Chain A
C-alpha cells in the first residue's frame, strides 16, 4: 500500500490543498440558512461545489505524475497501472468520505437542522465519488496540469449553475430544465431536496444510482490512459 500511503501524504502537502481539504469543508458547517431557498443551510448546498473542486485537486496529482514522467518510471517497476490507480483513488476516497462525515456530523453537533443526516452523508459520498471520477476522466484528456485545472474551473461554474446548486432549477426555461438532467449537480440538488422532503426511499436510491453510474462510466474512461 505504498502508493496509497504516499497519495494521502501528497494530498495534504501544499497550502492550497490544505485549505480545500480542511478549511473550506469546515467553514460549510457554520454558514446560515436561507430564508426560502436552499432548504438546507447554505453550507450544505455549497459543499457540492467544494466537492467538485476537491475532486479535480486530488485527481490532478495523478496528472502531475504523468506530466513529470513518474508514471513512466512506475511502468518499469513491478506495480501495475491498475494497482497504482486504485491505490490513488482509494486514498482520495478516504479523504472525501472523511470530509463528508465532518461536514454532516459536524453540522449535527453544531446544531444545524439537517433532517436526515445519515442519508445526507450517503448522498455526499455518492456525489464525491462521481466528482472524483469525472475529474479523473477530465485529466486523462490533458498533459498539462495547469491547463486541465483552468478549463475545469470554468466548466464547474457552468455545471453548478445549470445543475441548480446556485439557482433553483425550477426557475430555468424548459429547455435548460431538460438539459440539467444530464448534469451530476442536478442529481445532487434532487438528493438534497429529498433529504428535506423525501418520503419514498426508492427515489433516493435512484438519485444515488445515477451518481454511481456517473462514477463507473467516468472511472472506466479515466483509467484507459496509462502514460
Chain B
C-alpha cells in the first residue's frame, strides 16, 4: 500500500533547480534509504513532502489525500526527525517530550505513558529529568528522535539523524530504526553514510543534483555495477595524474581523483590493469594499490562520478 506519493515535483530556489521532476512512492512498512551527497536535494525533498516548503509543479499525495496532503489529520500521522538538534536546551528531556506530545494533542495519563515509552525507546529512561545541555552529542540526537515518536507516527521522516555522533550511538539509533519498522512504522531515512543505508534500508533511492538517479534494493543496485572492476591507487602527486590518458585506455569507464587517491572504474575483465599502473607510475608515482568488491559507494560513484562523502567529512 502506498502511503505517500510524489509525482513530478519541481522546486527552484531562484534560478537553481533543487528538485527536478521528482517521482517517488513510499510503501507501507518499508525503510527507504535516501542517499545523496550534500546539496543533492534530500532535505528539500523532505521539506516538500512535509509541507514545510512549497513546490511549483507536481503533486503530492499522503495517506491517500492529494487535495490537502498537509492536513492536521495527516500531520498527526507523520513524525519528523530534523537534521539539526531541535530540542529546548532549557527544558529537561521529559519536558521536551511533554511539549511535543502536547502539540500532537496527547493529554493526561496517555501523554505521561508515551513520554516514558519514548525515553525508554531511545535509551534515555534514566535521564528524563536532565536538561539536554548536559547530554553528549549522541544522547541529544537520541532525544531529538524521541521527540518525533511520542505520537507514534505511521510515517517517520529522518533527515540525517546520525550526523556527528559516536559509533555506539549510531548503532543504537540504527537498531531503534529497525525496531520501529518491526512495529509497523514506515521510514524515510536520509543520509550520506552509505553503510547506514546498507544496514537498514529495504529500498535505496539515490539522489544527485535534484534528481532521483536510481532506486532499488541494495542487492539490485550492487548487481548493476558488478560488471565493472574498480582499482584505487594512492599516488604521491595527484596533480600529475594523467586523467585524459587514463580515460583513453581501452575498457576504462571513469577516472575519479580525490585527494591523493585515484579511483579507476573499468569494464569487467578488461585486462588493462598493467597499462593503468604503468601510466600512473610514470606521471604521479604509486604509493599503493587496492582492488575492491563493489558496494553502494561504488554504485554512487558509477552513477554520479562523485564520492558520497567529502573526504574531510568521512
Nearest CB of chain A from residue B281's CB, rounded to whole Å = 50
14 A-B contact pairs sorted by A residue (CB < 8 Å): A2-B98, A10-B88, A10-B90, A69-B82, A69-B84, A72-B47, A73-B80, A73-B86, A73-B100, A76-B52, A76-B78, A77-B103, A77-B104, A227-B52
Interface size class on chain B is 20 to 34
> Within residues 68 to 117 of chain B, which ones have a CB less than 8 A from any CB in chain A?
72-73, 75-76, 78-80, 82-88, 90-91, 95, 98-100, 102-105
Please tell me if A74 contacts chain B, counting CB pairs below 8 Å: yes
Q: Which residues of chain A have C-beta atoms less than 8 A from B105's C-beta?
A: 78
Contacts A13-B91, A76-B75, A77-B75 given: A2-B99 contact, CB under 8 Å?
Answer: yes
Q: Which residues of chain B have C-beta atoms less than 8 A from A6's C-beta?
A: 88, 91, 95, 99, 102
Establish whether residues A9 and B84, one from each chain, have CB atoms under 8 Å apart when the complex forms.
Answer: no
Q: How far is the CA of A9 from the CA of B90 in the complex (A)?
A: 9
Q: How far is the CA of A2 from the CA of B91 in the complex (A)?
A: 14
> Within residues 70 to 92 of chain A, which ones have a CB less than 8 A from any CB in chain B?
70, 72-79
Q: Which residues of chain A have C-beta atoms less than 8 A from B52's C-beta?
A: 72, 75-76, 227
Establish whether residues A72 and B100, one from each chain, have CB atoms under 8 Å apart when the complex forms.
Answer: no
Please tell me if A68 contacts chain B, counting CB pairs below 8 Å: yes
Establish whether residues B91 and A10, one from each chain, have CB atoms under 8 Å apart when the complex forms.
Answer: yes
Q: How far is the CA of A78 from the CA of B47 in the complex (A)?
A: 15
Please tell me if A14 contacts chain B, counting CB pairs below 8 Å: yes
Interface size class on chain A is 20 to 34
Establish whether residues A68 and B91, one from each chain, have CB atoms under 8 Å apart when the complex forms.
Answer: no
Please tell me if B147 contacts chain A, counting CB pairs below 8 Å: yes
CB-CB nearest 7 A-B residue pairs: A2-B102, A13-B90, A78-B72, A78-B75, A69-B86, A76-B80, A69-B84
Contacts A69-B84, A70-B88 given: A79-B50 contact, CB under 8 Å?
Answer: no
Contact partner of B50 (CB less than 8 A), chosen from A2, A14, A70, A76, is A76
Q: How far is the CA of A209 from the CA of B148 in the complex (A)?
A: 44
Contact partner of A78 (CB less than 8 A), chosen from B83, B85, B104, B147, is B104
Please tell me if A166 contacts chain B, counting CB pairs below 8 Å: no
Nearest CB of chain B from residue A146's CB, rounded to whole Å = 15
Please tell me if A3 contacts chain B, counting CB pairs below 8 Å: yes
